[in-house]
Structure 1
């Protein structure tokens, strides 16, 4: 059921969310920075409290698409469901040209999403699609088919200097942002994004302005000049305060220019691939309403953390798609055990952005998460080891966690379980002993935590971890 809009954060597939939750003609500006099909795996690098980089990485998303039966089904559905001849002809022609390869799978993924974005845009709405040269030429033709080539406004080149250097070609130092309107009448606040004049461009200056070779005098706008369609905005350096550790994070200055130029206060901004939430933060700063969608829980927890820390927003928006009961938790675990792990750790107040925490994926040696804490006035760090289980559990799991805690020389261990623990598990944990912090406060050496208790707030993170 489609609801009236308020600031919303959706955890899920953006195609499903667009179809079922975003009503037609309701959005003023869409910014999207989708995966580029660059054949890269984007991983999050974690930082330990001493500043060292963790060897543990979380794969945020695999930026590679493959042709399979699901893509074949999506290809047929897009052609038959939307009844858009231009898009259908584009997909059929591209399939004949490219075959059923990675690029064709990527375009098949993007086509229905762009059609839904066109639907939800207001008649005076605009779209900014951010991509790199690996797929931009194909994407532009696809957007032309969806929006109409007459509604193409700009191909913006975002230039930057950060990153590696080429040895067999010229250094690749730009991204592309396509600017399209839905119709001829659209918002464009040029005075909001003027930039300072640099030089006179061959004009002769005088007290009254600048004069060209024909003697015509031009008085510069006191707010600055209209930006060109190439933007020299620095990418975020590795140690920038703005960074939240997300691999594809874009600078706020870039999003601020986009949102200021083509929306007004109170308008609705949509980012259907919202990642670490820079577009949402920009919209919030600029007094716009917003909708964010992402399919990874690591993105959702990052955005929640940014909104809380930058704006004190804990209850000023709604979240949809996260489990709110045991049945939802079981469904998430069935869909993706790793996403279940990230979500469970977030219930413990653990977010990978926090310098005191770490989350691990893959072969982890019995460690799903680590919570660091101070123990003593000297600021000595100790840690709690966390394990997450969504399936069947037994006393063997507690013994294994106990061994991991001792091996890692940790202070405590926390065992989080979706299913109820057995009596033998409870007895084994109780027999593991206690930990006393420097305040002589006692904590169980092994604590068993049920997901149901976390959901119902029967147990809080501050009661689990030493402080």
Structure 2
């Protein structure tokens, strides 16, 4: 037998280790108390790229089945990933005040914050940062200049974003050495090329009676105008389906100079999870939050693919999951101390056309991923086996196995996420189910 336990799910534990936490909840409701207590005053760097007020809502493109994951756009669905209420400027600024106050509480005394914004709301946000963090704690306004997008006819084309950089305390950690690149052999006007006694090439120039020397192999570092990082293109391998996704190279530059391995990086508008993924890849821990169900799906998939061990906390105020009753069929067998579970059916009303898809092998295209694990009475699901669709791995195996766990406080269960943003948890309570 299998019984639906969807309402009981509170925490998902995925993978081994404790690399970080993701909160599926509304920032207006705050962090869960135990998470706030765990991270208060311990975060070293916060990056936030909030959903800015815009006439058009940002979307997430959900791929469906193997054909969608192989690039067939006929097998995709588009969903909004921000809230209609944030189109109102005052509502947006109220949310940002809550976010910045929470960020200040989370940061360590040597911590820093990067707020990604644009020219339309950059001024009020900078005033808010001055108020909360202190005007004298402003460090930079980084200009990220890119060349993508269309051309304006009634004003100069807007081709840059602003990243406001503040520190919390009187001192902060900043090490620009990881960003150094050799000066190279690029021709330099008015400079003379020379070679010293050790054979090192350098360029020199005289000014004000002094001679200035620049060695070819010495590192140079970026200033506060960045033109060397391109915006993501539509077919970029990094793409997850989020309209507003930022390139990993941009976030990596921010994290690399302001944190050290083992430090905590936080993003309260996690979206596609770029900051969390980069933090893990650089050996940092992470804390993320978002209220959109597709952020939950993408972050779960992205971190799992990197081998991270993390918890997903189902908090308060998240976007409501779809009110649907999918037709599900599961068969499970416990034999010789091993659970074998087959997912035989997953259908959603209105998507019958996708549900009938077959491509080389039978599949359930409306299943975005699923896992098997142990669910305890408090709603904590420890996922011990997982199968998620990925670029290059478009098929989801429809059979999972798990060694039986001898636990008095938990039952074997499967978790299923679908392409509409919903999920189900089914408890395995017998040798066979339908």
Structure 1 and Structure 2 fold alike (TM over 0.5): yes
Whether the 8 Å CA contact 1:235–1:251 is kept in 2: the answer is yes
Quick one: structure 1 residues 336 and 126, their matched pair in 2 at CA, closer, same or farther if it must change by over 3 Å? Answer: same
Q: How far, CA to CA, are the matches of 2:255 and 2:429 in structure 1? A: 42
Q: CA deviation at 1:270?
A: 0.4
Whether 1:155 and 2:141 are equivalent positions in the alignment is yes
Counterpart Cα distance in 2 of 1:137 and 1:368 = 49
| CA shift for structure 1 position 341 | 5.8
- Structure 2 residue aligned with 1:22: 36
Are 2:203 and 1:217 equivalent residues in the alignment? no
Return the structure number with greater helix share.
1
2:248 aligned residue: 252
Alignment match, 1:366: 350
- Number of the residue aligned with 2:389: none
User: 1: distance between equivalents of 2:268 and 2:257?
Assistant: 20
- 1:62-108 deviations in Å (ceiling 9; x for gaps): 46536xxxxxxxxxxxxxxxxxxxxxxxxxxxxxxxxxxx3222212
Task: Give, in whole Å, the separation in 2 of the partners of 1:138 and 1:241.
Answer: 35
Contact 1:32–1:271 (CA under 8 A) maintained in structure 2: yes
- 1:351 aligned residue: none
SS at match of 2:243: coil
Aligned to 1:292: 288
1:39 alignment counterpart:
55
Alignment of 1:76-155 (within 5 A): 102-155=88-141
- Structure 1 residues 233-242 or 159-168, which shifts more? 159-168
- Unaligned runs of at least 5 residues, structure 2: 1-17, 197-201, 331-345, 368-421
> Displacement of 1:122 after TM fit?
0.5
From 267, 272, 281, the equivalent of 2:268 is 272
Q: CA RMSD in A?
A: 3.6
Measure the CA separation in 2 of the matches of 1:190 and 1:176.
20
Q: 2:176 matched to which residue of 1?
A: 190
Partners of 1:372 and 1:41 lie apart in 2 by 31
- Which string of whole-angstrom CA distances, capped at 9 and with x for unpartnered residues, describes residues 364-422 of structure 1? 972399457645xxx37876679xxxxxxxxxxxxxxxxxxxxxxxxxxxxxxxxxxxx
Aligned to 2:26: 13
Change (3 A) 1:196 1:134: farther
Whether the 8 Å contact between 1:45 and 1:53 is mirrored in structure 2 is: no
Q: Do the aligned partners of 2:203 and 2:216 also contact (CA within 8 Å) in 1? A: no
Return closer, same or farther for 1:347/1:216 CA change in 2, 3 Å cut-off: farther
**How many Å apart are 1:201 and its aligned residue?**
6.2
| Aligned residues of 1:19 and 1:116 also touching (Cα < 8 A) | no
CA contact (8 A) 1:10 1:17 kept: no
Question: Which range is displaced more, 136-145 or 364-373?
Answer: 364-373
Offset, 1:176 = 0.6
- Classify 1:155/1:203 alpha carbon distance in 2 versus 1 (closer, same or farther; 3 Å): farther
**Residue 312 of structure 2 aligns with which residue?**
319
Deviation for aligned residue 1:167 = 2.4
Cα drift, residue 307 of structure 1: 1.5
2:304 counterpart SS class: helix
CA 1:458–1:25 in 2, change beyond 3 Å: closer, same or farther? same
Q: TM-score, normalised by structure 1?
A: 0.62
Deviation of 1:289 after TM superposition, in Å, equals 0.5
Per-residue CA deviation, residues 234-260 of structure 1 (Å, 9 max, x unaligned), is 011111111111111110100110000
What is the CA distance between 1:13 and its match in structure 2? 1.4
Aligned equivalent of 1:53, options 73, 76, 86: 73
Take 2:363 and 2:426, find their aligned partners in 1: how far apart are those partners?
27
Q: Distance in 2 between matches of 1:196 and 1:236?
A: 26
User: 452, 455, 458: which one pairs with 2:426?
Assistant: 455
Closer, same or farther in 2 for the Cα pair 1:459/1:220, shift >3 Å? Answer: farther
